[in-house]
Amino acid sequence: MSFSLHPRLVSDFHLLGRNGALHVLLQRNAILPWFILVPETAALELFEVPAVLRRELNSVADRLARFVKRHFESDKINVAAIGNIVPQLHLHVIGRRRDDCCWPQAAWGHVEGTRAYSEQEQAILTRALVSEHLLEARNTP
Amino acid sequence: MSFSLHPRLVSDFHLLGRNGALHVLLQRNAILPWFILVPETAALELFEVPAVLRRELNSVADRLARFVKRHFESDKINVAAIGNIVPQLHLHVIGRRRDDCCWPQAAWGHVEGTRAYSEQEQAILTRALVSEHLLEARNTP
């Protein structure tokens, strides 16, 4: 199947890598720990995702949520499939804290401020995701 | 297990009834077709929900999403577990249309306008949900 990520996802997110049939992305704005999982499917709604891929998506989303909660000391994990702007099916996994930019509002349309991840932060995060089997290790040339 | 719905859910939503271990609620503001499913659990995060109940939640959420899309002619279904304000675990299933009040924004914090469901609308909707096995028929005295 020919599959490419939606340009809006590519522009707003770091493409961290893959986990099986899922792409693992990290919002470039580090003001909130905001991941998305993009399953390789033409389905636009969660209920249209083939069963095997859906189980994979749920399983990785759950493990990612646990990781985010621990790694970022989040008070609450927000999980959502919205897709009003980017129709390509993607699942948000966002770590929220009572002291973050926009608590207790939902993140969409309420984020204030921007910050970039440093290269070191990205490297630490990527290593942690690989060691948790949330991200496949990439062979560097 | 003693379980009672969070007061905020009771005040903002019609309690339509049950589907097994799930409570099925409908947002009182009819400006968007907005349902929530509340599983009877003390878990606060999706990943903490016991496996059997989680499968039930996913299965009913999928069938409810299909129903909402058809019944309300929605262009997109938004599904989310947020819980920053109401910690009791609840899953939103919202039907969105390109011509609705706040498209393409996410609904949380962006809804404009209010409208109440008429008694007739509620009765039709409840009958449809029962006939789709999304809601248990209630024995009226």
Does residue B141 register a pLDDT over 50?
no
Query: What pLDDT, on the 0 to 100 scale, is given for residue B2?
Result: 83
Query: What pLDDT, on the 0 to 100 scale, is given for residue B137?
Result: 87
Question: CA torsion, points B52, B57, B63, B68, in degrees to nearest 10?
Answer: 180
Q: Once rounded to an integer, what is the mean pLDDT over residues B4-17?
A: 97
The CATH number of the domain covering residues in B7-131: 3.30.428.10
Question: B92-122, pLDDT tens digit by residue?
Answer: 999 999 999 999 999 999 999 999 999 999 9
Does residue B9 register a pLDDT over 50?
yes
Contact B76 A45 (CB under 8 A): yes
Query: What pLDDT, on the 0 to 100 scale, is given for residue B139?
Result: 56
Residue found under tokens 């522009």: A11
Residues on chain A touching B106 (C-beta within 8 angstroms): 80, 82, 84, 106, 108-109
Question: B19-38, pLDDT tens digit by residue?
Answer: 999 999 999 999 999 999 99
Omega cis (within 30) before B50? no
Closest CA to B19 of B138, B140, B141: B138
Q: Once rounded to an integer, what is the mean pLDDT over residues B25-53?
A: 98
Residues on chain A touching B83 (C-beta within 8 angstroms): 76, 78
Q: In angstroms, what separates the C-alpha of B54 from chain A's closest C-alpha?
A: 10
Report helix, strand and coil shares of chain B as percent, to nearest 5. Answer: 30, 25, 45
- Point out the residues of chain A with pLDDT beneath 70: 1, 139-141
Contact A88, A5 (CB under 8 A): yes
This prediction's pTM = 0.96
Complex ipTM value? 0.95
Query: What pLDDT, on the 0 to 100 scale, is given for residue A138?
Result: 75
Query: What pLDDT, on the 0 to 100 scale, is given for residue A29?
Result: 98
